[in-house]
Structure 1
Amino acid sequence: MINRKRLVIALTGATGAIYGVRMLQILKDLPEWETHLVISAAGLVNLKYELDMDRMALHQLADVTHGINDIASCIASGSFKTEGVVVAPCSMKTLAAIAHGFGDNLISRAADVALKERRKTVLVPRETPLNLAHIRNMAAVTEMGGIIFPPMPAFYNKSDSVKAMVDEGVGRILDMYGVTIDGLFKPWAGLGSEG
């Protein structure tokens, strides 16, 4: 029996459902990882609109699914060991809830638990332009040890498709958890003799 590493992946109502979905697709093929999925009601709306995907299809990608209001879920407790939480995409509402410790649903509670237990917490905010409240909330999460990871493509890779740009962001996020998949993204190696 493999001792599997657990990762909580949450999707909210911000645009960019593909980031959370792609992470689940990749981790599904890695037997050493166990994914715990939570999606908000607005996240389900975006999932259908952006990817023409329903709740059942999404749930099939995860090892374990949790209801957004299930505050008694295992991932609501620090005694349940995980490698951390990724909120991808992260709405500004969810960012604000996490920044202020307002655990009003299982997504903000799971992130709060990860932060208090000093586990890696990565938020993938999808909003632009940013107002001062957004920036201050990002600063607050950063001061608590969280990582703000806006999905900004690196143009040095000369990606020629949305899929390649998504894979690059997802690859870099998963790399922070020790998951390295060849071909997802190309680390910067310097200019070498070209410079």
Structure 2
Amino acid sequence: MAYARKEKAISLAWTGASGAPYGIKLLQCLLAADYQVFLMISSAARVVLATEHALQLSANPEKARAQLLSYFAEQKIALTGELVVLGKDEWFSPPASGSAAPKQMVICPCSTGTLAAVATGMSNNLLERAADVVLKERGQLILVPRETPFSAIHLEHMLSLTRNGATIMPAAPGFYHNPKSIEDLVNFMVSRILDHLGISHALTNRWGYGVDAPQNIDN
């Protein structure tokens, strides 16, 4: 398949950690911001999507693409970007090569298995290779792990990735914006990811803007 190169492009990966709503919302925001999104979905991620989001995606990339676009259309979400869903063995796709890969990539949610594979440069599939390419090309790689507690092995992998230029953003939403729903918590986390990508948004109130300071309480 031939790919038309777009000015605004990014790689996005969903893996088997809990947190499918984060990945769905992030994809929506990227497409709404007119990005070409190269989406990679692990087998375990499809299981999590079905469990947490009642979204059963086909293992066939083209069918999965159609399902996602249909899902967003049902939500009446306007999208101007381009979605490209890639299979795990599509080695001739842009994310596989430093000469063509987007300079930014987010793995959200990121399982600890994927964390380990990226930290050790395994590159056993396209998802892992895409992350390895972004690191070697000195691009921006953001990983959003969702696990608790973290073992020393997990923490060592995070430290190794951080030292090699990646950003670790655990799925740990704040509460200072007084969330009223799960969607508010999802938006908080996705807003922090978009901040690091340099993409403007209005998902949440920023600290000091639209958040009332607590009043002093006399004892």
Q: TM-score, normalised by structure 2?
A: 0.81
Per the alignment, in what secondary structure is the counterpart of residue 7 of structure 1? strand
Per the alignment, in what secondary structure is the counterpart of residue 63 of structure 1? strand
Gaps in structure 2 of 5+ consecutive residues: 58-63, 73-81
Give 1:169-184 correspondences, 5 Å limit. Answer: 169-182=189-202, 184=203
In 2: Cα distance, 1:93 partner to 1:59 partner: 28
Task: Specify the alignment match of 1:67 in structure 2.
Answer: 87
State which of 44, 47, 56 in structure 2 corresponds to 1:54. 56
Per the alignment, in what secondary structure is the counterpart of residue 156 of structure 1? coil
In 2: Cα distance, 1:121 partner to 1:43 partner: 19
Task: Specify the alignment match of 1:18 in structure 2.
Answer: 21
Taking only the aligned residue pairs, the percentage that are identical comes to: 39
Task: Specify the alignment match of 1:187 in structure 2.
Answer: 206
8 Å Cα contact 1:91-1:125 kept in structure 2: yes
Give 1:8-157 correspondences, 5 Å limit. Answer: 8-31=11-34, 33-55=35-57, 56=64, 57-58=67-68, 63-157=83-177
Deviation >6 Å, runs of 4+: 190-193
Considering only CA atoms, is the larger Rg found in Structure 1 or Structure 2? 2
Q: TM-score, normalised by structure 1?
A: 0.91
User: How many residue pairs are counted as aligned between the two chains?
Assistant: 192
* Residues 135-168 of structure 1 deviation map (CA, whole Å, 9 limit, x = unaligned): 0000011010000001111111111111011011
* Residues 87-130 of structure 1 deviation map (CA, whole Å, 9 limit, x = unaligned): 00000110000000110111111111011111110000011011
Deviation at 1:39, TM superposition (A): 0.3
CA RMSD in angstroms comes to: 2.1
8 Å Cα contact 1:21-1:58 kept in structure 2: no
